[in-house]
A = this chain, B = another copy of it.
Amino acid sequence: MHEVLAVVLQVRAGELQVLLWRRGIEPEAGRWALPGGRLGASEDVQTSVLRQLAEKVDVREVAHVEQLEVFSAPDRMPGARTVATAFLGLVPCVADPEVPGDTAWHPVSGVLHGDPATAFDHGPIVRGARNRLRAKLSYTNLGFALAPPEFTVSGLRELYAAALGHRVSATNLQRVLARRGVLVATGGTAAPGPSGGRPAAVYRFAERDMRVTDPFAVLRPPDPRQTVGEQLQPADRAPSS
């Protein structure tokens, strides 16, 4: 038996949260589980996870999906042996999808400390998803999947701080992402807050597909034409991990 599981993450109330549903029946009744389900006969795993997610949230609100890892310990679940392919899904913070009654958002930091208790091996899966998100926020333009279409630098700073779990300098964020060509100024400005202050410039992400922005400078080809063997293929541009 093969199942797919989705770790859907969103920054809500200044905190990184994960979508879980409360199991009503045994085994593990009362514990919280990741959305997902059985892989269908005529779909691949990515199609399957998007289909199953549609039962929990509006799929159009999921801005990015990628494969995480296979969990296959024989005893990871009671009953028939089940292999799980885990996915990471990201929802922009402006979306507020309607969720079924048994489903709710929970802060990731709490879940990783057992609050609330998770079913089966779903806790480690959430940890892996959070680690992947943190890493990719640093060397890709993945922020687009957490941010609204347009935003201010300080708004984006709060998103990054929540997702990364540490302070982020707005000055640096602006400069680093601008130099990499990730951020583009729209020209507009946002209304200042109630206590005044200079109006913030409005930005958007240049692209809304994931792209590696930090080409691991260490061992970069010294000259584009000095590569040996075959040339770089388009598929090589964004390694899945």
Which A residues are within 8 Å of any B CB, using their own CB? 2, 39, 41-45, 67, 69-70, 72-74, 81, 83, 85, 108-109, 112-113, 124, 127-128, 131-132, 135, 137-139, 160-161, 164-169, 173, 176, 214, 216, 218-219, 221-222, 226-230, 233, 235-236, 239-241
Residues of B within 8 A of A42 (CB): 74
Work out how many copies of this chain go into the complex.
2
Residue of B nearest to A221 (CB): B166
Q: What's the least CB distance linking A178 to chain B, in Å?
A: 13
Q: Is the CB of B168 within 8 A of A239?
A: no
Residue of B nearest to A225 (CB): B166
Instruction: A124 to B234: give the CA distance in the assembly, Å.
Output: 13
Instruction: A241 to B239: give the CA distance in the assembly, Å.
Output: 10
Residues of B within 8 A of A167 (CB): 221-222, 226, 228
Residues of B within 8 A of A69 (CB): 67, 240-241
Residues of B within 8 A of A74 (CB): 41-44
Residues of B within 8 A of A169 (CB): 222
Residues of B within 8 A of A124 (CB): 235
Taking a contact as CB atoms closer than 8 A, the residue among B39, B138, B166, B235 that contacts A228 in the complex is: B166
Residue of B nearest to A113 (CB): B230
Residue of B nearest to A213 (CB): B218
Indicate whether A83 sits within 8 Å of B2 (C-beta atoms), given known contacts A218-B214, A227-B165: yes
